[in-house]
Amino acid sequence: MRLLVFNLAMDSDDPILGFATRWIAALARRVELIQVVTMRAGRVEVPDNVRVYSAGKEKGFSEPRRVVEFYRHLVRVVRTDRIDVCFSHMIPIFTVLAAPVVRAKSIPIVTWYAHRQVTTTLKLAHHMSDRMVTVAESAYRYKRDKLSVIGHGIDTDLFSSAPTCLAEPPLILSVGRLSPIKDPLTLIEAARLLRQRGAEVQCVFVGEAPERDRVYLQRVKDRVKELDLDGLVQFIGAVPNQEVVRWYRRCFAHVNLCPTGALDKSALEAMSCCRPSVVANEGFRSMLGIWADRLVFRHGDAADLAAKLAVLLATNSEDREMMGSELRRQVVEGHGLEHLVTRLCCIFEDVRNR
């Protein structure tokens, strides 16, 4: 099979999108050739049967220029190569832009989308796609007629457990961009409540704020100062995947504060490292199994979050190890990279044959 893939970035060092390179490498082991058209290229490490073409964001190209480059690469690929399936990852505008060209060549389109928002662009992409794929039922809120749930694609070889290296005092970790939807203020308030109750903990945020949320991040940091939590709360910034693994392994618990919707990768990465993720997203409940009542808190409720963290702090090491092993198993079976690649290849074969 020969694939054409659209994505945002091909850069092994990107702290958020670096996983895309590992996805492509895993897919490349199952197919004959992959042609990737990406918005930005950085350090590209791919197998010999992968070709990568950038629309030039890393060169400072404007958005209109990137659209031109996108079409230039797309038209050349479909003219010179026999493409079996087109896979559009994350951004539905890729599907909308490419559909007239690939449809003219009778190439089926599979579009990945995992977000609570339902936009006009998504509706168009749904209509133009042969299949939509997402990470969980709660992560796709439009029509179900073309939908397949395939998991998140966590690299469970990278995100794995290690000999005990827990930080002291116990470390509460939150990984992800610092934006209002991520609700860091609730975790900061929960940390304050834990300290008031005599719990010795530290709280670390790993991730950056996008440009549009820089003012919000300053408000968050100001709140830390107001509560006199400078010694308890740290902001590390964005780090590569290889380094964030070490943070997961050091924490006693990871906290994800997003409301119900798409399953955040960071929560699954922590579980893959055998660390419990305390979550506000009810979409996680089924995979948390018998641990759900301990690990799901009411969204925006700092007191409930503090109570859940206090229970984890009091949990003995044997029970925590049992919990961590079971959570990792759930990630491997439902959201592991090999599971996702197998599901994708089956879907690609199906749409090609139709």
The pLDDT value given to residue 187: 97
Report all structural domains of the chain as residue ranges with CATH numbers, in order of start: 2-153+336-353 (3.40.50.2000), 171-334 (3.40.50.2000)
Average pLDDT over residues 155-184: 90
The pLDDT value given to residue 64: 96
Q: In which order are the strands placed within the sheet that holds 233-237?
A: 233-237, 202-206, 171-175, 253-256, 277-279
> Does the structure show a pLDDT above 80 at 140?
yes
> Does the structure show a pLDDT above 90 at 13?
no
Alpha carbon distance 133, 120 (integer Å): 18
- Kindly report the pTM of this predicted structure: 0.90
Average pLDDT over residues 264-278: 95
Alpha carbon distance 203, 278 (integer Å): 14
* CA distances, 59 to each of 15, 35, 40, 43, 196 (Å): 19, 20, 8, 14, 50
Coil vs helix vs strand at 326: helix
> Does the structure show a pLDDT above 90 at 26?
yes
Confidence at 16, pLDDT banded by 50, 70, 90: confident
pLDDT in tens, 60-80: 999 999 999 999 999 999 999
pLDDT in tens, 226-248: 999 988 999 999 998 788 999 99
Average pLDDT over residues 142-171: 90
CB 327 within 8 A of CB 274: yes
Confidence at 20, pLDDT banded by 50, 70, 90: very high
pLDDT in tens, 80-124: 999 999 999 999 999 999 999 999 999 999 999 998 889 999 999
Task: Using the Cα atoms of residue 137, residue 139, residue 142 and residue 146 in order, give the sign of their dihedral.
Answer: negative
CB 40 within 8 A of CB 10: yes
Give the whole-number percent of the chain exceeding pLDDT 90.
86
Pairing mode, if any, of strands 147-149 and 33-41?
unpaired
- Nearest CA to 32 out of 18, 44, 50 is that of 50
> Does the structure show a pLDDT above 90 at 156?
yes
> Does the structure show a pLDDT above 80 at 171?
yes
Length of the chain in residues, anyone?
Answer: 354
Residue for token digits 């794929």?
A: 133
DSSP 187-220: HHHHHHHHHHTT---EEEEEB---GGGHHHHHHH
Confidence at 164, pLDDT banded by 50, 70, 90: low
Give the whole-number percent of the chain exceeding pLDDT 70.
100
- What the block records as the tokens of 269 is 């990465």
